[in-house]
Amino acid sequence: MPAAQITIERHIIEQQKQFPQATGDFSALLYDIAFAAKIISREVRKAGLVDILGFTGKENVQGEQVQKLDEFADDIMFRALDHTGRLCCMASEEQEDIITIPERFDTGKYVLLYDPLDGSSNIDANVSIGTIFSIHRKISDDDGHGTLEDCLQPGYKQAGAGYVIYGSSTMMVYTAGNGVFGFTLDPSVGEFLLSHNNIRIPRRAKIYSTNEGNFFNWDKNVQNYINYLKTPDKETRRPYSSRYIGSLVADFHRNLLYGGIFLYPADNKNPNGKLRLLYEANPLAFIVEQAGGYASTGSQRILELQPNDLHQRIPLIIGSYDDVREAEEFFQGEREA
């Protein structure tokens, strides 16, 4: 007998049974996100066909405007979720301000923050890209509509987080604070099926992922750490392998499965790092901690930071627990080798 196929819907419903007080809104929200992911996945899969299908770049054959994929993904996320009555507001890496729910729709008790298509500069080279999302509970109490205060909550308060990777297959990975689960999209039936149950990140990494082209823009402590990872030592299984795609979701996903440390530290050009706290660092930090790993700025736990701006950037060191802790010792100047 083949193993039962567990769809994401069934999995979410079963998880929800552990919380008898749950209304089902949160489960439905996750399912709505999975639906948006399927549409984005469909468009991403067609990306290389644009020229062949007779599109001219800005206009398609019907004379309609062809949207850039990241704008398209941003739109899909909004339109799949604006009318559901489960959100009080949203915020997207693609948009300057908080996104309000149109007046004609009901509002709800959750807040959704998302990066609709991360790594989009890689699309033309057919490299994996992803969607990242973070869910908070509404905390403001003025009316049904959310405020900036609802969006600017520290990461440890997330009710859920996840990402979708558009890679050799499309996968959705999520946590609701009770372990990390991965689902692979079966395109023949259009369903996400449970493929990675209770993901745990190895405590020690084999891989480091960073843009080493920035080496001479890093401070000495960061340079010392990367030099340490490259120095051969049998006992500590060094040197580590270097793997850097330049697509955060893809680099993170590989490290989550195989063990690895990803670093985007501050440098001379990006004094606060490059990645965004709300749309990238917080959701991935929640996932990695749920899988047994850790995420830090080099001196502070990511999930404890109080955000002060929707598009705040933050240095990010994330992955296998022992490695991120060790990196902190180097970043603090407590170790040089």
**What single DSSP character describes residue 193?**
E
Residue 128 found at the interface with ligand AHM (CB under 6 A): no
Distance between CA atoms of residues 100 and 263, nearest Å? 33
Residue 120: which of Mg ion, ligand AHM, none does it interact with, CB under 5 to 8 A by kind? ligand AHM
Residue 223 found at the interface with ligand AHM (CB under 6 A): no
Residue 267 found at the interface with ligand AHM (CB under 6 A): no
Residue 296 found at the interface with ligand AHM (CB under 6 A): no
Q: What angle do CA 91, 97, 99 make, to 5 degrees?
A: 45
Measured over the CA atoms of residue 318, residue 212, residue 242 and residue 231, the dihedral's sign is negative
Written as one string, the DSSP assignment of 110-166 is: EEEEEEEEETGGGGGGT--EEEEEEEEE----SSSS--HHHHS--GGG-SEEEEEEE
Return the structure tokens found at 316.
Answer: 């990010």
**Minimum distance from residue 52 beta carbon to Mg ion (Å):** 28
Residue 247 found at the interface with ligand AHM (CB under 6 A): yes
Residue 32: which of ligand AHM, Mg ion, none does it interact with, CB under 5 to 8 A by kind? none
**Minimum distance from residue 202 beta carbon to ligand AHM (Å):** 21
**Minimum distance from residue 280 beta carbon to ligand AHM (Å):** 7
For residue 90, the one-letter residue type is M
Residue 185 found at the interface with ligand AHM (CB under 6 A): no
Residue 115 found at the interface with Mg ion (CB under 5 A): yes
Residue 181 DSSP SS3: strand
Residue 4, classified by CB atoms within 10 Å of its CB into exposed (0-12), middle (13-18) or buried (19+), is: exposed
Q: Which of 16, 120, 170, 296 binds ligand AHM (CB under 6 A)?
A: 120
- Please check whether residue 285 is in contact with residue 277, taking contact to mean a CB–CB distance below 8 angstroms: no
Residue 217 found at the interface with ligand AHM (CB under 6 A): no
Strand partners, 111: 89, 136
Residue 211: which of Mg ion, ligand AHM, none does it interact with, CB under 5 to 8 A by kind? ligand AHM
End-to-end Cα spacing for the chain: 54
Strand partners, 59: 65
Residue 174 DSSP SS3: strand
Q: Which of 119, 293, 315, 319 binds ligand AHM (CB under 6 A)?
A: 119
Residue with nearest beta carbon to Mg ion:
118
Q: Give the nearer residue to ligand AHM in terms of CB position, either 244 or 258.
A: 244
Residue 107 found at the interface with ligand AHM (CB under 6 A): no
Residue 248 found at the interface with ligand AHM (CB under 6 A): yes
Parallel, antiparallel, or unpaired: how do β-strands 129-137 and 110-118 relate?
antiparallel
Residue 255 found at the interface with ligand AHM (CB under 6 A): no
- Please check whether residue 283 is in contact with residue 158, taking contact to mean a CB–CB distance below 8 angstroms: yes
> Of the ranges 29-37, 118-126, 139-147, 298-306, which one interacts with ligand AHM (CB under 6 A)?
118-126
Residue 68 found at the interface with ligand AHM (CB under 6 A): no
Residues of this chain that bind ligand AHM (CB under 6 A): 118-120, 211, 246-248, 274
Residues of this chain that bind Mg ion (CB under 5 A): 115, 118
